[in-house]
Amino acid sequence: MIPEKIIQFLDRANVGHAGTRDRNLVPHGHSVCGWTVAVDGRTLTVLLPAGASGHLVESFEDNGQIAVTIEEYPEHETYQFKGRYVRHRPAVPADAEITERIRERFVRGVLPIAGEGAEPVLRAFVQPPALAFEVEVREIFVQTPGPGAGARLVVGEV
């Protein structure tokens, strides 16, 4: 199971990015606009905006390897989730609600740094979801900057 501490973190985090790789071991990055933990406590559903899914499906079909890094900015608390692709689907209205909550958290967190006039562009930074995929999380790593960065928090299948 994904630890409760991490589930609480996911409920306050506001920035995400995913990584895959193709059959030639070339890495590909994908902007992330939402995430949620399934009721089984092991599966992470990750949302991507339009334009962020290049090479994604062919990489999943080739090898299924996925890494997702999620951060609470500007506090810099960050964790990386590694696992296996389970399935993907087009985004649905419920996904857009998840993204909207993350967008609100991002704007609330960054606006004091960026200034009031920046609100429209901060909102646009978190784009609406177009695609959702599920990951069976197997490992979680600390990536918060500092001496503990890189430590494995959960070993093997969660």
Partner 1 sequence: MDTRLPAAIRPVLDNGIPAAMVTCSADGIPNATVISQVYFVDDTHVALSFQFFSKTMRNVRENPRAHVTVHDIQGLARWILELEFERSETEGPIFDAMDMQIEAIASATGMSGIFKLRASDIYRVVSVEKQSHRLHA
Which chain residues interact with partner 1 by CB under 8 A? 17-21, 25-29, 31, 49, 51, 63, 65-69, 71, 73-74, 76, 78, 80, 82, 114, 118, 120-125, 127-128, 141, 143, 145-146, 149-150
User: Can you say whether the dihedral through the CA atoms of 120, 125, 129, 130 is positive or negative?
Assistant: positive
Taking the complex as a whole, the smallest distance from the CB of residue 114 to partner 1 amounts, in Å, to: 8
Which 8-state DSSP code applies to residue 120? H
- Give 39 or 64: the residue with its C-beta nearer to partner 1: 64
Residue 6 Rama label (left phi>0; alpha psi -120 to 50; beta) = alpha
Count of C-beta atoms within a 10 Å radius of residue 76? 11
Cβ atoms of 42 and 137 closer than 8 Å: yes
Taking the complex as a whole, the smallest distance from the CB of residue 39 to partner 1 amounts, in Å, to: 25
Instruction: Look up residue 85 and give its two tokens.
Output: 């692709």
- Give 37 or 111: the residue with its C-beta nearer to partner 1: 111
- Give 31 or 38: the residue with its C-beta nearer to partner 1: 31
The whole-angstrom separation of Cα 99 and Cα 47 is 8
Taking the complex as a whole, the smallest distance from the CB of residue 69 to partner 1 amounts, in Å, to: 4
- Give 39 or 44: the residue with its C-beta nearer to partner 1: 44
Taking the complex as a whole, the smallest distance from the CB of residue 15 to partner 1 amounts, in Å, to: 8
Instruction: Look up residue 66 and give its two tokens.
Output: 């996925």
Taking the complex as a whole, the smallest distance from the CB of residue 154 to partner 1 amounts, in Å, to: 15
